[in-house]
Structure 1
Amino acid sequence: METIKSFKRLTIVKIALGILFALVVLPSNMKAIAILLFGVAVLINSLQRKWHFDKRFFITNGLLYVAIAVTYFYSDNQEYGQRKLLQMASLIVFPFVFAMLTKAESKEIFKNLTTYLWIYVIGVFLFNVISFLWFFGMHYSFPEMMEHFGTILRVKMGKFNIHPIYLSMHCSIAILFSFYILRELRSKVKIATILGIDITLVLFLLLYAKKGPLIALIIVFSLFVVFQRKQKLLKPYLIAITTLIFLTIVIPKTRDRFVELLKIENLDKGEITSTNIRYTIYDTAQKLIVASPLTGYGIGDYNDVLQEKYTQDGNLLLAERKYNAHNQYFSLLLIGGVISLIIFLCTTGMNLVYAIRFNNQLLILLLVFYAIVMFTENILEREAGIIFFAFFLNFFSLKSLYTSEEN
């Protein structure tokens, strides 16, 4: 009887997890509710059996949030600091919730991994396709969609608004997940379906023309092929990479983004391009980091200090548009100095070491993907980035945890 009750409780947790993998298709006001439902489901499950809480798991994955929260106490702009800590709460919520799951429960949950991956892949596919078809059919011509779809996603989607950089990340991660779905498929119809989804997502990636996610996808795709150790994958890999590079070259919008890398200059000397904007931001951020390397400026003040520096240096464009550091590593240095950066590198490094040791391939590739994208984006400070980073990190690190306990 107790086994049946336990199975029913865990079923609710599994359903709540499935909803989290579908977060990308939920409006912004529903995402917090979905996370709350998952937390409540895990808590109820935990209270109806012998209490379990993995302190090591919680500390490893939650320590970064604690380190950032400490910087609040030496921040002057406490209102901004409170808002940012609330946005970053996923960094502490997910480690706390997942730490309540036992080894047996984690193993049982991972039996549904393929289903969860399917949910995410289909969700990302539908979000891209339906959004495009809706605005194309109701409001804009095809040339207008090709030129302005990224802006439409950012300002015309209401509670579904999303910056194209984050949707590019979703497309890349969905393609990564599809690799592992393909390994399990035997049905030709399903294989054709997942390949069709991948081709569509690649086309959207090229439409968004975001360099970071594209480069990161190529690297993790290459690592995936290496991990499989199958020579028969070499030919499809080379065809896919060659086709992607060819499309990147022939599509003007995407090509121009990469051509920017050939001439990187400060904004006061060069053109206003995304690459030059980032170069100027990094130059400004480095000066501030050198001025306060150990403890940074605090979660409340780091952005104010950056905006003031833009103005002092005469970079009025950056000040008017209120650009953040556009580099997660620089941003952590601005928030909490080398202390916060070291804690971040240690916690992610520990997860990476365990993932390598226990052949947790998906976590390895996700960590590599995020590590690359973080060189050009502050994904831990925007809801669209932090929720999924924290969720994926804690979910996939469960596999490393229960495997290590078994060994």
Structure 2
Amino acid sequence: MEAKTNNKSLVYLEGALFLLFASILLPTNVKSIAVGLFCAVSVYHFFKSKNTFNTRFFLVNAAVYFLIVITLIYSDNIAYGVRKLTSFLSLLLFPLCFALFSRNDMRYLYSRLDKMLGVYLVTVVLFNVIPFLWFYITHYSISDMLIHFPTVMRVDVGKYGIHPIYLSMHCSVAILFSMFILRSLKSKWKIVGVLLLDAILILFLLLYAKKGPILALMIVSTLFILFQRKRAIVRPYIFAILGLVVLMIAIPRTRNKFLELQKIEVIGEGGPTSTNIRYTIYGVAKELIYESPILGYGIGDYRDVLNKKYETTGNSVLKEGRYNTHNQFLSLLTIGGVILLLAFLGTLAINLVFATRFNNELFILVLLFYGIVMLTTNILEREAGVIYFALFFNFLSARTLFVNPSDAS
């Protein structure tokens, strides 16, 4: 049975949280307003309910942001550093907001979890389907759409523009959320409806053909099945995975992306594939890290240093592309060295320990999914990545981090 409340401020807070779960449908500038609204309502509820600030939760989950701020001290390019700190701001705001809630608040909000996950699932589907149908009807043939739609979503939709890698992450996380929704559904029609939404998202995943999110989803979905310990769902899952693999092989775009993994070379020795570009960038980034392993180069200078390194290597592809490290862990090392990386890993580890202790399966799988994707993508340095990582991370963390076993039921 769902928890109920007569606390109006908590109802407002619930509405602001639902808006965030649906915020993929908002243009870029309005997303920031949605985050600001959630922060304002959280502060209002805190004072209205006379809650106690959860200092330990805030310090653990916001530690990385504070360390990034400190690196501004030894940065030369202060203006760029301040702009990047603004991009990272979700890493501070969401720990701050969720630290304002009481255990009863989280118990009430968690009673709405399936609905919030459902809102995210539906809005992600709409965000993919509506532009696809619009551009198919007004601009392109179906064959053109299959080739150009990822580019269309990046450059032709104005303030809704988003890189395919982040679209792939949204699709994957929505599918992961749907697994937990399906677990609690009783109606066959609702189950069929959710499975149809999943099928749509899988087709878009194959269209975007981003290896990292697809592999991460396959890994965490397998773990989800293992967590359930039900033989009845193993066989359907195996058939589903086999069907996905067949589609990946049958679709040239997706097949070619995975074939890149057969031969990984630095650019110059091999072609400028996405895999080879990443492999070459990692080599350059490692050289920089060896030169300043403890403190890194600071939030203001880390990109300038990386771009200058591209110039000295004489690699025109990297120089012209001005690529980031395409690995969140390497990026943290270039920003703040080993100290910053250990702080980030420590935050993840502490949360993973508590999530495991209180059997928070969803949080465990979300942590693992983002951790895997971070091996090939800088999630925290773009709004499309950091807002949702920080939101899901802190919402799920607040239910199990520093609580008593009786509170985690």
- Return the TM-score normalized by structure 2: 0.97
Distance of aligned partners of 1:312 and 1:169 in 2 relative to their CA distance in 1, 3 Å threshold: same
- Structure 2 CA distance for aligned equivalents of residues 332 and 370 of structure 1: 15
- Partners of 1:264 and 1:279 within 8 A in 2: yes
Q: Secondary structure at the match of 2:7?
A: helix
Partner of 1:207: 207
Partner residue, 2:169: 169
Distance 2:83 2:46 in 1: 30
Instruction: Find the counterpart in structure 1 of residue 132 from structure 2.
Output: 132
CA deviation after TM superposition for structure 1 residue 406, in Å: 3.3
- Asked whether the 8 Å contact 2:57–2:402 carries over to 1, the reply is no
Q: Tell me the CA shift for residue 399 of structure 1.
A: 1.6
Matched position secondary structure for 1:268: coil
CA deviation digits over 1:192-234, x for unaligned, max 9? 1100000010000000000000000000000000111111111
Between the aligned partners of 1:316 and 1:69, the Cα distance in structure 2 is 32
Aligned to 1:101: 101
Q: Name the aligned partner's letter for residue 376 of structure 2.
A: T
Question: What is the distance in 1 between the residues matched to 2:46 and 2:6?
Answer: 10
Shift, 1:401, TM fit = 3.2
State the secondary structure of the residue aligned to 1:386: helix
- Letter of the structure 2 residue corresponding to residue 92 of structure 1: L
| Conserved 8 A contact 2:285-2:325 | yes
For residue 63 of structure 1, report the CA deviation from its aligned partner: 0.2
Q: Which residue of 2 aligns with 1:8?
A: 8
Rounded Cα–Cα distance in structure 1 between residues aligned with 2:57 and 2:104: 15
CA apart distance, 1:398: 1.6
Q: Structure 1: state its 5+ residue gaps.
A: none
Aligned to 2:288: 288
Paired residue secondary structure (1:48): helix
How far is 1:8 from its partner? 1.4
Where does residue 159 of structure 1 map in the other structure?
A: 159
Aligned equivalents of 1:179 and 1:309: distance in 2? 44
Cα distance between partner residues in 2 of 1:287 and 1:398: 38
Give 1:50 deviation, angstroms.
Answer: 2.1
Counterpart contact for 1:53–1:100, Cα < 8 Å: yes
Match of 2:32 in 1: 32
**Alpha-carbon distance between aligned partners in 1 of 2:46 and 2:282, rounded to the nearest angstrom:** 46
Q: Would you say 1:312 and 2:325 are equivalent positions?
A: no
| 1:267-320: CA deviation from partner (whole Å, max 9, x where unpaired) | 111111001100110010010011110000000100111100111001111111
Tell me by how many angstroms 1:405 deviates. 6.1
Counterpart-to-counterpart distance in 1, 2:152 and 2:315: 27
State how far apart, in whole Å, the 2-side matches of 1:402 and 1:331 are. 29
Question: Are positions 1:366 and 2:362 aligned together?
Answer: no
> Partner amino acid for 1:288?
L
User: Residue 78 of structure 2 corresponds to which residue in structure 1?
Assistant: 78
- Tell me the matched-pair count: 404
Separation in 1 of the partners of 2:128 and 2:49? Answer: 42
Contact 1:103 1:402 in 2 (8 A): no
Q: Which amino acid aligns with 2:150?
A: G
2:68 equivalent in structure 1: 68
> What CA distance in whole angstroms lies between the structure 1 residues aligned with 2:48 and 2:68?
34
Partners of 1:276 and 1:113 in 2: CA distance: 40
2:338 is matched with which residue? 338
Amino acid at match of 1:314: G
Aligned residue for 2:270, secondary structure, equals: coil
Contact 2:358-2:405 at 8 Å conserved across structures: no
CA shift, 1:6, in A, is 5.2
> 2:58 and 2:208 mapped to 1: Cα distance?
36
User: Residue type matched to 1:233 in 2?
Assistant: I
Q: Residue 61 of structure 1 contacts residue 347 of structure 1 at CA under 8 Å; is this kept in 2? A: yes
Number of the residue aligned with 1:221 = 221
In structure 2, what is the Cα distance between the partners aligned to 1:392 and 1:23?
Answer: 13
1:17-57 Cα offsets, whole Å, 9 max, x none, are 00010011111011111111111111111112324100010
Tell whether the 8 Å contact from 1:358 to 1:403 is kept in structure 2 after alignment: no
Are the aligned partners of 2:154 and 2:163 in contact in 1 as well (CA < 8 Å)? Answer: yes
Secondary structure of the structure 1 residue equivalent to 2:303: helix
Q: Is the 8 A contact 1:107 1:402 kept in 2?
A: no
1:297–1:402 CA distance, 2 compared to 1 (3 A): closer
Offset from partner CA, 1:347-375 (integer Å, 9 cap, x none): 01100110000001111000000000000
Distance of aligned partners of 1:17 and 1:402 in 2 relative to their CA distance in 1, 3 Å threshold:
farther
Q: Secondary structure at the match of 1:325?
A: coil
Segments ≥4 residues shifted beyond 2 Å: 401-407
SS of residue in 1 equivalent to 2:404: helix
Deviation (angstroms), 1:404: 2.9
Secondary structure of 2:359 counterpart: coil
**What percent of counterpart residues are identical?**
52
Does residue 1:54 correspond to 2:54, yes or no?
Answer: yes
Mapped contact 2:51–2:102 kept (Cα < 8 A): no
1:272 aligned partner: 272
| C-alpha distance in structure 2 between counterparts of 1:181 and 1:51, whole Å | 31
1:198 partner amino acid: D
SS in 1 for 2:9: helix
In structure 1, the residue corresponding to 2:296 is in which secondary structure?
coil
Take 1:293 and 1:402, find their aligned partners in 2: how far apart are those partners? 32
CA contact (8 A) 1:68 1:335 kept: yes
Comparing 45-54 with 136-145, greater Cα deviation is found at 45-54
Per-residue CA shift, 1:132-157, capped at 9, x if unaligned?
A: 00111111111111111111111011
Q: 2: CA distance between counterparts of 1:316 and 1:189? A: 55
Q: Distance in 1 between matches of 2:384 and 2:211?
A: 18
Partners of 1:134 and 1:403 in 2: CA distance: 48
Unaligned runs of 5+ in 2: none
Offset of residue 403 of structure 1: 4.7
Q: Check the 8 A contact 2:355/2:401 in 1, yes or no.
A: no
* 2:246 is aligned with 1:252: no
Measure, in 2, the Cα distance between the counterparts of 1:312 and 1:402. Answer: 48
